Each structure stands twice: as structure tokens, then as C-alpha cells.
């Protein structure tokens, strides 16, 4: 209900304000139909078997006024036939941005991405992950914020005040790709007595010096990653969100065909203070085999030194990511990305293949395949071991 009211208010504002000032609205966005097919029988009794069909809508409205005001509004909704929690709506963006020569002020809901690596987005922390959307942790919920960015010759300084916290989304009882126990929604535990109204703060400095791109960041507030603990009757997992301090560093060195990448964090507030890193490279053969296509090779090592009891669990404690990207550079922008993440401790691994191609001028076809292999009963991926899937997605862009 609450969501609906916000949604309607924003629609009202988006429609009335531009009319009142008679500025031109630019519209964009997409509608997509998706079928996600699970070939194996579900591991847990309530989970569905077979195909999961859904439809998603993400329109986008922009209004630019006098080159120094920008209004953006991007609502999002998905209707899912199998998992009622995957049927959800969100406001990805709804902000007003005031642009000055060397500073910008943004007020509203926005998405902000930090980082350079491919296999894990460690440094990225402003937005909560919209986990029901996809397991690649690249879909995010809109975050209310006040963001001041100051540009100087020696870099960009960005300050964030984050007044409201968004809970991570999780699959429901019927859904696949979940833990053995379903994660409870709404009634979650917070370390802060202010609960979701704790004011978080973040800072980022980013710049480039020659072939180096550097980002330094700091976050204080409610960590986006929950610790999942069973309730007293062991029927549900209850997310617990702790107050954390996190410092982050992201670096990229770009030299000829090489991109060398590093992301590292130090986090305090969840058990013992720990560090986590992703380090690796991407090497590209441009115009491989005398064709127009580029072939890139990606290698990243993932380390995470977190506390096994006091911190949220991760599946990426000591893992190796190997990937290959094939970009056809054709008129239809065809590309394929294949990658595997290997757990160097228990030798379980997962494989993911993503392909996409534009059809005509306004459609895009995407294929995704995910495989979990060699999973042990003690592996952190044990609950999803039977959840290999193939996704076909057709999107219309307007």
C-alpha cells in the first residue's frame, strides 16, 4: 500500500510538473518477457518445477530545464507467474538534479555504481541488491539520497546522505534459487534502534592519473548485506542488518590491450574486522583472426576474510573467476560472455553464459545459462545445487 502511494505520487509529479512549466519530456524504457527454465526437480517441497515466466516494465522519463536542472523518473515492475515475491515494483530513480559548473546536487531516489571488476562488485555499496531479479547481483533497488558532487582538477568528491534503508529482496516459498528456509520479509532485525530510518553517510573520491583510474570510498551506516539467522522455531531466516564502517579502494590500470583491476574493502561491524579483495585482469585480442570480432579473456581472484559466525555468509571466500567475452562488433551488437567461478577450497564451481543480440531496431534477445557443479553438502551453494537454469528474455525498447 505504502509503495503504491509513493508510486502514484511520483507519477502525478512526473506528469504535472513538466506540464506546468511546459517543458518537453523525453521518454524511453523497455518492456520484456522472460522465461526461466529449471531442468532439475526442486530440492525443497514448496518450490515450483519447470518454467518461470514473467513480464517486466521499466519506463523512463527525463526532463531537462535550462541545461542546469534534470528530473528523472524510472519506475519498475515485474509480474512473475511462479514466485509471488518476484512479483514486485520499485522506484529505481526519481530525482531532481541541479547542475552547476563544478558541482552538482541530487535529491531523490537514485542508483549509484562504483567499481571496476566483473565477477563481484565489492566496493559498490550505496544501493541494496534486488536479489529476486537475478543472482548476478547487478540489479539494484532505488536508494533515497542527497548527493553533492564537487568536481576539481584533481578529482571528483561525492558526498551522500542516505536517510532511508531498503531491505534486500529474496525469493518466496515457491521460488527457486533460495536457501532451505525462506527469508522473512518486513519484520527484520536492525542493530540500530532507528531501524530503517538510520541516517547513513558515504563519501567517494574518484579520479584518473594517466593510465590509472582510482576510486576511494567510505561508508558508515546500515550494511546492505544481511546476516541470515533461523528464528526460534527454525521455520524462517530472519535478516539482521548491522551498522558497519567500510572503506573501499578500486583501481584500474589500462595499458594497451590490458586492463588490470583491483577492488578491496575493509569492513568493521560484523564480527571481527575483515578485508576482502578482487584482483585480476582483462586482456583483449582486438579484431581476432582477421575478423571484426574482439575476444577478451578475464581472470580474477576473489578473497574474503570475513568472520564465519559474526558476519553474513559469502560463497566467495577464496575463488577464481575465469571468463571469456566474444564481441562480434556487428550491426546487431552480438556478444557472448562465458565465465566460471571455482571455489578453490571445496572445488565446487558455477558456470554462467550470457549472450545478447539486437533484433531489428528496437528488440533485443538475451540468453542466460547458469550451472552449479560439484556442489558438496557442506558448500555454501548446497541449497541451489539443483537450480541450474536457462533464461530467454525478449525486450522491446522504446
Partner 1 sequence: MSHLLKSILMYSISLLLFSNAIAEELEAKGYEIAKRSDHSDRGFSDSVVKLNMVLRNATGKESSRTLEIQTLEAPNDDVGDKSLVIFDSPRDINGTALLSYAKIIDPDDQWLYLPALKRVKRISSTNKSGPFVGSEFAFEDFTSTELNKYSYKWLREETCEEFTCDVVERYPLYENSGYTRQIAWIDQSVYQTRRLDFYDRKDSLLKTLDFKDYREYDDGIWRSHKLSMRNHQTEKSTDLIYSDYEFKTGLNDNDFNKGVLKRAR
Applying CB under 8 A, the residues found at the interface with partner 1 are 26, 28, 30, 62, 64, 70, 97, 99, 101-102, 104, 111-113, 115-116, 138, 149, 151, 156, 206, 208, 213, 252, 254, 256-259, 284, 286-287, 292, 294, 329-333, 358, 361-362, 364, 395, 397-398
Of 75 and 239, the one with the shorter C-beta distance to partner 1 is: 75
Residue 298, all three cell numbers: 578475464
CB of 289 to partner 1, least distance (A): 13
CB of 130 to partner 1, least distance (A): 13
User: Could you report how far apart the first and last alpha carbons of the chain are, in Å?
Assistant: 29
CA-wise closest residue to 139 among 151, 157, 127, 125: 127
Of 294 and 346, the one with the shorter C-beta distance to partner 1 is: 294
Of 145 and 384, the one with the shorter C-beta distance to partner 1 is: 145
Of 12 and 286, the one with the shorter C-beta distance to partner 1 is: 286
CB of 204 to partner 1, least distance (A): 10
Of 135 and 237, the one with the shorter C-beta distance to partner 1 is: 135
CA 361 to chain centre: 27
CB of 315 to partner 1, least distance (A): 21
Collapsing DSSP to helix, strand or coil, 106 comes out as strand
356 vs 344: CA distance, rounded Å: 30
CB of 318 to partner 1, least distance (A): 26
Of 271 and 355, the one with the shorter C-beta distance to partner 1 is: 355
Q: How many Cα atoms occupy the beta-carbon half-sphere of 296 within 13 Å?
A: 22
Rounded to whole angstroms, what are the CA distances from 395 to 126, 133, 208, 231, 328? 28, 15, 36, 40, 20
Of 62 and 386, the one with the shorter C-beta distance to partner 1 is: 62
**Per-residue H/E/C for 183-239:** ECCCCCEECCCCHHHCCEEEEEEEEEECCEEEEEEEEEEECCCCEEEECCCCCEEEE
Q: Tell me which DSSP letter residue 289 carries.
A: G
CB of 126 to partner 1, least distance (A): 10
CB of 297 to partner 1, least distance (A): 13
Amino acid at each position: 500500500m505504502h509503495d503504491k502511494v509513493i508510486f502514484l505520487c511520483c507519477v502525478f509529479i512526473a506528469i504535472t510538473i513538466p506540464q506546468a512549466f511546459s517543458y518537453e519530456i523525453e521518454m524511453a524504457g523497455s518492456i520484456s518477457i522472460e522465461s526461466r527454465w529449471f531442468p532439475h526437480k526442486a530440492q525443497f517441497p514448496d518450490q515450483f518445477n519447470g518454467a518461470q515466466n514473467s513480464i517486466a516494465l521499466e519506463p523512463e522519463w527525463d526532463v531537462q530545464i535550462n541545461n542546469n536542472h534534470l528530473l528523472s523518473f524510472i519506475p519498475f515492475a515485474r509480474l512473475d507467474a511462479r514466485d509471488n515475491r518476484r512479483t514486485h515494483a520499485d522506484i529505481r530513480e526519481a530525482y531532481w538534479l541541479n547542475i552547476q559548473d563544478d558541482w552538482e546536487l541530487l535529491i531523490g531516489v537514485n542508483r549509484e555504481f562504483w567499481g571496476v571488476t566483473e565477477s563481484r562488485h565489492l566496493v559498490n555499496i550505496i544501493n541494496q541488491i534486488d536479489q529476486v531479479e537475478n543472482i548476478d547481483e547487478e540489479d539494484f533497488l532505488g536508494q533515497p539520497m542527497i548527493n553533492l558532487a564537487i568536481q576539481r582538477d584533481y578529482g571528483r568528491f561525492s558526498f551522500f546522505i542516505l536517510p532511508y534503508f531498503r531491505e534486500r529482496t529474496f525469493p518466496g516459498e515457491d521460488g527457486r534459487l533460495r536457501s532451505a528456509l525462506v527469508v522473512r520479509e518486513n519484520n527484520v532485525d536492525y542493530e540500530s534502534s532507528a531501524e530503517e530510518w538510520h541516517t547513513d553517510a558515504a563519501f567517494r573520491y574518484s579520479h584518473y592519473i594517466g593510465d590509472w583510474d582510482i576510486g576511494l570510498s567510505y561508508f558508515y551506516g546500515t550494511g546492505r548485506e544481511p546476516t541470515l539467522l533461523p528464528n526460534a522455531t527454525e521455520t524462517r531466516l530472519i535478516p539482521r542488518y548491522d551498522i558497519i564502517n567500510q572503506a573501499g579502494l578500486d583501481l584500474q590500470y589500462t595499458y594497451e590491450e590490458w586492463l588490470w583491476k583491483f577492488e578491496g574493502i575493509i569492513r568493521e561491524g560484523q564480527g571481527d574486522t575483515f578485508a576482502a579483495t578482487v584482483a585480476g585482469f582483462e586482456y583483449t585480442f582486438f579484431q581476432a583472426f582477421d575478423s571484426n570480432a574482439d575476444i577478451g579473456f578475464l581472470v580474477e581472484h576473489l578473497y574474503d576474510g570475513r568472520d564465519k559466525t559474526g558476519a553474513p555468509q559469502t560463497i566467495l571466500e577464496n575463488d577464481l573467476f575465469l571468463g571469456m567475452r566474444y564481441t562480434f562488433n556487428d550491426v546487431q551488437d552480438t556478444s557472448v560472455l562465458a565465465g566460471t567461478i571455482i571455489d578453490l577450497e571445496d572445488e565446487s564451481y558455477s558456470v554462467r553464459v550470457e549472450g545478447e543480440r539486437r533484433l531489428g531496431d528496437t528488440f533485443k534477445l538475451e540468453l542466460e545459462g547458469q550451472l552449479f557443479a560439484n556442489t558438496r553438502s557442506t558448500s555454501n551453494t548446497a541449497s541451489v545445487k539443483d537450480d541450474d537454469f536457462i533464461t530467454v528474455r525478449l525486450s522491446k525498447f522504446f
